[in-house]
Structures are given as C-alpha cells and as structure tokens.
Amino acid sequence: MAIEFKLPELGENIEGGDVVSILVAVGDTVKEGEGLLEIEAGKASMEIPSPATGTINAIHISPGDTIKIGQLAFTIESGAAAPAPKAELKKEAKAKPAPEPKEAPAEADVPAPVEKEETPESSAPAVAPASIEKAVSAAPNVRRLARELGLEIRAVVPSTEGGRINLEDVKQFAKSNMGGGSGTGSASRSSGGVHVEKMSAIRKATLKHMTHCWTTIPHVTQQDWADISRLNVLRKQFGKKAEVQGAKLTVTAILVKVVASALKVFPNFNCSIDPDKMEIIHKDFCNIGIAVDTPKGLMVPVIRDADQKNMIELAQDLGSIAAKTREGKIGLSDLQGGTFTITNLGGIGGTFFTPIVNSPEVAILGVGRAVEENGKLRMPLSLSYDHRIIDGADGARFLRWIVEALEEPLLLALEG
C-alpha cells in the first residue's frame, strides 16, 4: 500500500518551513518513527519522523525547498509487500525523477501574466503579441526573483536543455545586464553587482513577526539608569555558590528575578490584549523570554515559571537554554509561551535603544552595557511597552521599581 506522506502540523501558527536535509533515499527501508527529513520552522529545527514502516518509493522535495503544511514530501510503500529489487528501484528513479515541488503544473508551461505598471494606463508601454505568446518554463520562486530584480523573465536565456529557467539563470542574467538597460527596475540602474541570498527559516520568521509587532503595537520607550555598583559586588561574592551548582550568576539571571518580581507588583505588564473582543487577558504564570544572538539570527527561548525560582535556578535555566539555542538544539515549545522579554546587548556594547515589543506580550526590557562614572557602575535600561494597555505613568513606575530593586536588592524580599 502506497502512503503519501505530507508535512504534518508543526505547531501553532506554523505554516511550513525550510528543508535542511533529507535523511533517506529512494529505495531505503524505514521504520515507523525513524527520521525522514530535518526542517527549520518557526525558528526551531526539528526532525520529522516516518508515519509507518516501509520503503521510500519517491522523494518530492529537496534540501533548501520551502515546504508547507500538507504538502506531499514522500511516497512510502507500506504493508506486507516485499520491496522491489534495488536495481529496479534505481532504474525507476532515473527514469522518473521526483517532480520539483515549487512549481504548479499549470503554471510551468503557460506564459506568465503581464503585470501592470504603477503608471497610468494611458502611458503604459504596449506589449508585443509575440512576447505574450512566448511560453516561459520557470517555477514561481524563479519568477518572483526576476520580478524583485526588475527583470523581464522572457529575456532570460535558460541554461538547461529542456529550456527551463532556474534561479542561477536569473542571477547570471542580472549580473550580465548591469547598466545595460535590459532590466526594468533597480537592478539595471545599479552601478555595481548584486548577489541574492535566500532567507533562512529564522530570518523569514523574524521578518514576519517583527513586521506584525511594529505595525500593530503603538510603542512607547522609556529609559533610565540603574546604579548596580552594590549589586555587582554581591554578584561576585555569591557567584561562587552558583558555580558549585553548575550555574553562572550573571546580570541577566538577576534581571530575570527582578522582572519576575516586578510583574507581581504590576500585573498589567504580564498580560495580553484582544482588541477585537476588547478584552485584557491576565496571565497567572510568569514566563520570561531571553533574546539570544545566534549565527542564524535572533531567537527568544523562554524560562518558564520564573517567579517560582530562585536566582541560582534561574541562572541554571538561563545557561541551559542559551547553550541549546546557540547549538541549534532548541525545540519549538521552548520558544513559545513567553509573557515578558529581556534583551541584553551589554556584552556587545551601546547604551539606550528601542526594543520592539514581542507580541502578544505587552512589554520588553532592553539592557545596555554598564559604564563606570564617578566611581559608580551605571547600567542603561530601555523599557518599551504597548501604549494601548500601559499608560506612561505606569511605564515610569515599572521602570523605576526595577531600577530601585537593582540598586537595593532587599526590595525583592520586601515587595517582590
């Protein structure tokens, strides 16, 4: 029995991902639960298991492809039927290569629609009938690249015998026509070359999410200095106790504890809003997201139940999730469920900045590099918040509470 294996649901609001690697080949025998492919989705890497035991009959995707939920990925021969001989499988694979997943069959062999210019209709240049009739064989992502570079795809010469235009053909055409007037957009007007890089799954997720956050949340950012001279002395003094338990008592770990305590005092910072229903959703839990800089881009793993842990436990969690994130071993569940985010750029440098609120959260704390002034160690803090739910006075009180808790650690025991 042939099973068409389609990409299953990966998580909430995840529509698909990028194929990192294919872990099997045509003719391989796989067991139920054995990995078929590795995929990057929603900033996390994951291995997708086989739904049944059987033989791989066909692979419909390739490394680097973007695959959507429900898209056909593998055909698996399952059941009692014996697998075909390897020689026959190889012959079949050679005779009938797997189709390219990114092309809709109907689109491959018909002319691409002529897109209207953004100029008045009366001034738009006429298109010769011959150019309309000329069929262009190119996948949707190839056509999209040509449009983004301002190129007429019908002018691109294919490099393959079948006459199919690929991404490399478009790139080479763009390079060879710089300044030559063959293109219609910015690429042809450029005085230098271009190179095109496909966005990673993490970058695409960041693009989509940050655009949503910035365009839907009215941001306000307030800034203040915290004198952490005394705190730094205590941190070094008690840091050895944390080291004994395999943790490092960093300023970020202390900030997680301070913020978790502040959220109890100011619960309107630990909520989200539903503007359609005009409702405020209060969170009875406290999960602090920590922005982590990785080679693949920004990721925000979450420390769960931060309000129920002491500083050493928080330091342990922080070290663990930071390591997993940088090594690319973070799971999708580790990136979800945050109620407040901390982003610390102190290790890189800089002072104040404007962090973007991580929707559906309503606030984020940005931390810059501490500087010594007049014998004091002062740390810059930037608090951004959603002005639909948090007023300026509340923002000022919240930030001042954090500053005072850092300057007088006893406040955590008194009010936190």
Give residue 103's pLDDT: 41
Within 8 A by CB and 6+ apart from 70, the residues are 6, 7
The CB density around residue 17, as the number of other CB atoms within 10 Å, is 28
For residues 354-370, one letter each, b for 16 or more C-beta atoms within 10 angstroms of the residue's C-beta and e for the rest, the string is: ebbbbbbbbbbbbbbeb
Tokens 């997201």 belong to residue = 289
- Whole-angstrom distance, CA of residue 22 vs CA of residue 8: 16
Give residue 139's pLDDT: 74
Q: What predicted TM-score, i.e. pTM, was given to this entire model? A: 0.63
- Whole-angstrom distance, CA of residue 266 vs CA of residue 241: 31
Give residue 378's pLDDT: 97
Tokens 């129920």 belong to residue = 308
Give residue 326's pLDDT: 85
Domains annotated for the chain, with CATH where assigned, are 2-100 (2.40.50.100), 132-198 (4.10.320.10), 202-415 (3.30.559.10)
What φ, ψ does residue 251 adopt, rounded to 5°?
A: -60, -35
- Whole-angstrom distance, CA of residue 202 vs CA of residue 134: 38
The one catalytic residue in 195, 219, 282, 387 is: 387
Give residue 403's pLDDT: 97
- Whole-angstrom distance, CA of residue 90 vs CA of residue 85: 9
Give DSSP secondary structure letters for 5-32: EE----STT--EEEEEEE---TT-EE-T
Give residue 205's pLDDT: 83
Give DSSP secondary structure letters for 361-384: SSEEEEE---EEETTEEEEEEEEE
Among the listed residues 249, 342, 257, the one whose alpha carbon sits nearest the alpha carbon of residue 308: 257
pLDDT tens, N- to C-terminus, the chain (416 residues) = 889 999 998 876 778 888 888 888 898 899 898 889 988 876 777 889 999 999 999 999 988 888 899 999 999 998 644 344 333 333 333 444 444 444 433 333 333 343 444 433 443 333 333 333 346 777 767 777 877 777 888 888 888 877 888 888 888 888 777 544 444 444 444 556 788 888 877 888 888 899 999 999 999 999 999 999 999 999 998 998 989 998 999 999 999 999 999 999 999 999 999 998 999 999 999 999 999 988 888 899 999 999 999 999 999 999 999 888 888 888 888 888 999 999 999 989 899 999 999 999 999 999 999 999 999 999 999 999 999 999 999 999 999 999 999 998 777 766 65
- Give the CA count within 13 Å in the CB-facing half-sphere of 170: 26
Give DSSP secondary structure letters for 106-128: HHHTSPPPPPPPSS-GGGSPP--
DSSP label at residue 303: E
- Interaxial angle between packed helices 229-244 and 251-265, expressed in degrees from 0 to 180 and rounded to the nearest 10: 110
Is 209 in the active site?
A: no
- Whole-angstrom distance, CA of residue 178 vs CA of residue 315: 53
Q: Do 41 and 366 contact (CB within 8 A), yes or no? A: no
Within 8 A by CB and 6+ apart from 79, the residues are 1, 54
